[in-house]
Amino acid sequence: MKKIIIFISSVQSEFSAERMSLHDYILSDPLLGKFFDPFLFELLPATDQRADEVYLREVEYCDIYLGLLGRDYSYKDHTGKSTGEVTGEVTEAIRRIVLILKGEMKRVEIQNELQMRHDDFFRTNYIIPAIEAGMIEMTNPESPTSPQQRYRLTANGKDLQAKLIGK
């Protein structure tokens, strides 16, 4: 039986983490992985062909086109300011980290909790943006690659976590 190809796409570049998460979930799920083959344009190797032509060819080849659309890009913190105004946009990737972070956790613990497999992808698209947005911080910032490194919520991260869980 031929697998059904799902082309996963979005206009917003900030959804790259969500696209990869969906891709990984489909591949790792025993039932979905048996019937579906997810496709991400960004995973194609470089080519000498025009990107738009390759993209459209792949869209025609797929069975399902799944477009991710955004609605909310930030929230108001305890000061009444939008996080977009204060720290940049809060992406779904940041929301996911903020939701699961308890106390101080190692990167691998956070990654496992979110069921993410690719270390570099996770660091680049989840950890670093969450730090840059002021939602999490390192316990040992002077030594970012320390095996003892852990991450914890900042005050803004705690505010967001409370809002997301409805407290």
CATH of the domain at 140: 1.10.10.10
Distances (CA, A) of 14 to 54, 67, 75, 95: 22, 13, 16, 12
Structural domain boundaries enclosing 25: 4-68
One domain, residues 89 and 157: yes
Same domain, 37 and 104: no
Asked whether residue 78 carries a pLDDT value surpassing 70, the answer given is no
The answer as to whether 115 is a domain residue is yes
Q: pTM of the predicted model, to two decimals?
A: 0.50
Pair 39, 98 in one domain = no
Mean pLDDT over the full length of the chain: 83
Alpha-carbon gap, residue 103 to 116, rounded angstroms: 20
- Tell me, yes or no, whether 10 and 45 share the same domain: yes
State residue 122's pLDDT score.
85
pLDDT at 80 over 70: no
DSSP letter at 27 equals H
On whether residue 77 sits in a domain, the answer given is no
The predicted-structure confidence for 87-134, as pLDDT tens digits, reads as follows: 445 677 888 899 999 999 999 999 999 888 888 888 888 898 889 888
pLDDT at 87: 40
Q: Which residue has the tokens 């320390």?
A: 146
- Distance in angstroms (rounded) separating the CA atoms of residues 31 and 53: 32
Helices of type H across the chain: 16-28, 32-35, 51-61, 83-86, 92-100, 107-113, 119-122, 128-132, 155-165
Please, which pLDDT band fits residue 26 given cuts at 50, 70 and 90?
Answer: very high
Does 8 fall in a domain? Answer: yes
Query: What is the domain count for the chain?
Result: 2
- For residue 7, the tally of other CB atoms under 10 A from its CB is 19
113 lies in the same domain as 44 = no
Alpha carbon distance 117, 105 (integer Å): 17
